[in-house]
Homo-oligomer: A and B are copies of this chain.
Amino acid sequence: MRSKQPTIWDIAIKLNVSISTVSRALRNAPDINPETKKAVLDLAHQLDYQPNTIATSLRKNKTDIIGVMVPEFVHAFFPSIILGIQEVANAAGYKVMVMQSGESLEIEKHNLQAMVSSRVDGLILAITRETNDYEHIISAQRKGLPIVFFNRVVDELQGSKVMVDDYKGAYIAVQHLIQTGCRRIAHLAGPENMTIGRNRLNGYLDALKAHQVPIEDELIMHCDFVDGRARACTQRLLTMENRPDALFAVNDPTAIEALICIRENGLSIPDDIALAGFSNAPHGAFVTPSLTSVVQPIHEIGGLAAQLLLRQIKAPQQFIPETHVLDTTLVIRQSTRAKPE
């Protein structure tokens, strides 16, 4: 029963002109009589004609679609970034196709293939936490697919990258913990193969060194963004003979898991244990105690990534990869002690 959609053929026949003329009218080409153009447009509107972008894409060899793949989007972080991407992409006449890898390398590979097969004009990508083999990505790049990486960035891949100053963010967060009197500061860390994890760890380490706080390896727990692991790690930390008096979490979801665990153990924040996160979302403001966190310009990340990608799409030959590092700042809330003066 599916009624077929009208094509330029239908319009051409009804108006007794050629499909060339119809095509010209629809994509307002210069050499056409204003009257016939109007006739075509009127009929098109009357038939509720919608151009078949598939045919156009095949012919023009471009889809005007940019793909976005993120590990997940149930936390607000990636959705907010996608918002930023969509704004600049739509403004430039591009559509956005969103996929999620679910933190699975296999799905990432599969989705990437699908993107390549659908001939997206470019891709904005945050890799999986388990992505340690980059052949599928490099293969796509070899095919000429422009890719911009963000958030989860890795040295082995080349291409434009958008990241934030993870090192500085971690440094100032840990410094703040030290300055408010904490001495045994644990770190719920991210994956070490990713720049984001390494930089935050380094910021943590250097802040400790700079303030002559001894580094203890058993206080560094790798949670690696996997759900539930932060809770287990926190539990281990809390039952140590010499309990830490502060936690610095690699991101907010990790911090919130820790917060719940601490609360369940009947300890108070920040009196027994202070807690700082790395902001993925505005939600940290709503938990109690509200979360001290490093904030990053989320919206800007998406917009910038899209801009870089569009630039590369439009001039692929003279394009030189750029790495942008956006600034981070600390927002002090209730989960850390007030600065003593």
Are A52's CB and B5's CB within 8 A? no
Complex Cα gap A116–B50 (Å): 7
Does any Cβ of B come within 8 Å of A3's Cβ? Answer: yes
Partner pick for A79 among B5, B73, B96, CB 8 A cutoff: B73
Partner pick for A50 among B53, B63, B117, CB 8 A cutoff: B117
On chain B, the residues within 8 Å of A116 by CB distance are 50
Copies in the complex: 2
Q: Evaluate whether A74 and B63 lie within 8 angstroms (CB atoms) in the complex, with A53-B117, A139-B48, A287-B286 already known.
A: no
On chain B, the residues within 8 Å of A76 by CB distance are 74-76
Binds B, one of A24-32, A97-105, A230-238: A97-105
On chain B, the residues within 8 Å of A86 by CB distance are 100
Are A54's CB and B50's CB within 8 A? no
Does any Cβ of B come within 8 Å of A2's Cβ? Answer: yes
Complex Cα gap A95–B99 (Å): 9
Q: Closest chain B residue to A73 by CB distance?
A: B79
Are B317's CB and A1's CB within 8 A? yes
Complex Cα gap A48–B55 (Å): 24
A1-22 interface (Cβ within 8 A of B): 1-5
Are A316's CB and B2's CB within 8 A? yes
Are A3's CB and B317's CB within 8 A? no
What is the minimal beta-carbon distance from A261 to any residue of chain B, in angstroms?
A: 12
On chain B, the residues within 8 Å of A98 by CB distance are 97-98
Q: Closest chain B residue to A48 by CB distance?
A: B139
Complex Cα gap A96–B118 (Å): 12
Interface string of A282-302 (1 = CB under 8 A from B): 010011100000000000000
Q: Closest chain B residue to A95 by CB distance?
A: B114
Does any Cβ of B come within 8 Å of A183's Cβ? Answer: no
5 smallest CB-CB distances across A and B, nearest first, come from A288-B288, A2-B144, A98-B98, A53-B117, A73-B79
